[in-house]
Amino acid sequence: MTTNSDIPGIEDDTRPNAGRVYDFFLGGNHNFEVDRAVARKLLDVYPVLPRILRMLRWFLGFSIRRMLDEGFTQFIDFASGLPIQDHIHQIAPTGTRVIYSDKDEVTVAYAKKIVADNPDVIYLQCEANHPEKLLNSGIVEKMFDRNKKVAIGMSGISYFLPNEDLIHALDTLYNWARKGDKLFISELSEKDLGEEKKEGKPRLSQDLFAQMGSPFYYRTKEEFISMVPKWNLLPPGCQRCDEWLNLENFLSTDDDKEIFGPFYGAFFEK
């Protein structure tokens, strides 16, 4: 197991890190006691959280496999979190070029360490709100053959971005992309948010995540699609993640279906 002193910039393990808390919920070992303490508090309030995060990670894996099946060998990913637990380079065959990024400097420091030995993979700090910083940094030219198509990941991030930032990011990516490049996204809709109907439970979004400095921005599918006017939405369109993943057996009760319903995903092509 990695120890704190192995990781540049995170020797102070008195502060929890969202990426490592996420890792704990996914069953990983890239987390410290301070992260697990936060995870336990979250679990008290919201016991279903690990299942939601696992479903989102499954959707990420589904998206990656779909891109690989279509012959993509180059990925650029925003808000990647830690590159563990079935992330791109772990699923893709050797030789697939991957540019990961995240805004959180501790996540970036830790992630750089994780991928340090892989010459096909790089991890950079970049806010998804401003993808141009990464796209114009010269790193893409170094890593990619632009005669080959690129798959762009925006998984588990759009609902952390205010409308104007999401519109800017998706427009910037479109202008940068070449014909045939694809974009995969997961989103969160306010519609049918089961938890809000349950008395005595705080809203996951506005209470817990706002307290951690990451408020959620809900959008209906229609609002979301209106923010991606240039990209071609691929059939069958925006679908619930559990539908993409055929999770009927995993979501056994009506409660489950209500809780997991607001998360949906979509694929776009330039």
Ligand X SMILES: C[S@@+](CC[C@H](N)C(=O)[O-])C[C@H]1O[C@@H](n2cnc3c(N)ncnc32)[C@H](O)[C@@H]1O
Choices 7-15, 72-80, 133-141, 224-232 (CB under 6 A): range interacting with ligand X? 72-80
Phi then psi for residue 97, to 5 deg, are -90, 130
Helix axes 49-69, 33-45, angle to 10 degrees: 110
Phi then psi for residue 58, to 5 deg, are -65, -40
Q: Count residues contacting ligand X (CB under 6 A)?
A: 21
Least CB distance to ligand X at residue 111 (A): 9
Instruction: Tell me if 127 contacts ligand X by CB under 6 A.
Output: yes
Phi then psi for residue 26, to 5 deg, are -85, 0
Least CB distance to ligand X at residue 176 (A): 17
Choices 64-72, 73-81, 90-98, 142-150 (CB under 6 A): range interacting with ligand X? 73-81
> Binder to ligand X among 31, 73, 129, 158 (CB under 6 A)?
129
- State the binding string over 79-118 for ligand X (x if CB under 6 A, else -): xxx--------------------xxx--x-----------
Contact (CB, 8 A) for 12 and 32: no
Tell me whether residue 136 or residue 252 sits nearer to ligand X (CB atom): 136
Least CB distance to ligand X at residue 53 (A): 7
> Binder to ligand X among 7, 18, 150, 173 (CB under 6 A)?
18
Least CB distance to ligand X at residue 59 (A): 7
Q: Indicate the Cα dihedral angle 36, 61, 168, 177, nearest 10°.
A: 150
Cis omega before residue 236 (within 30°)?
A: yes
Task: Give the three-class secondary structure for 123.
Answer: strand
Q: Please count the other Cβ atoms lying within 10 Å of the Cβ belonging to residue 267.
A: 23
Least CB distance to ligand X at residue 72 (A): 17
Q: Indicate the Cα dihedral angle 145, 232, 132, 218, nearest 10°.
A: -140
Tell me whether residue 156 or residue 261 sits nearer to ligand X (CB atom): 156
Contact (CB, 8 A) for 236 and 163: no
Residue 23: CA count within 13 A, CB half-sphere: 24
Tell me whether residue 160 or residue 254 sits nearer to ligand X (CB atom): 160
Instruction: Tell me if 16 contacts ligand X by CB under 6 A.
Output: no
- Give CA–CA dist 130/133, Å, rounded: 6
- The conformation of residue 234, written as its DSSP 8-state character, comes to P
- State the binding string over 159-178 for ligand X (x if CB under 6 A, else -): -x------------------
Instruction: Tell me if 157 contacts ligand X by CB under 6 A.
Output: yes
- Give CA–CA dist 194/188, Å, rounded: 12
> Binder to ligand X among 31, 74, 96, 155 (CB under 6 A)?
155
Instruction: Tell me if 156 contacts ligand X by CB under 6 A.
Output: yes
What is the binding site for ligand X (CB under 6 A)?
18-19, 22, 56-57, 60, 78-81, 102-104, 107, 127-129, 155-157, 160
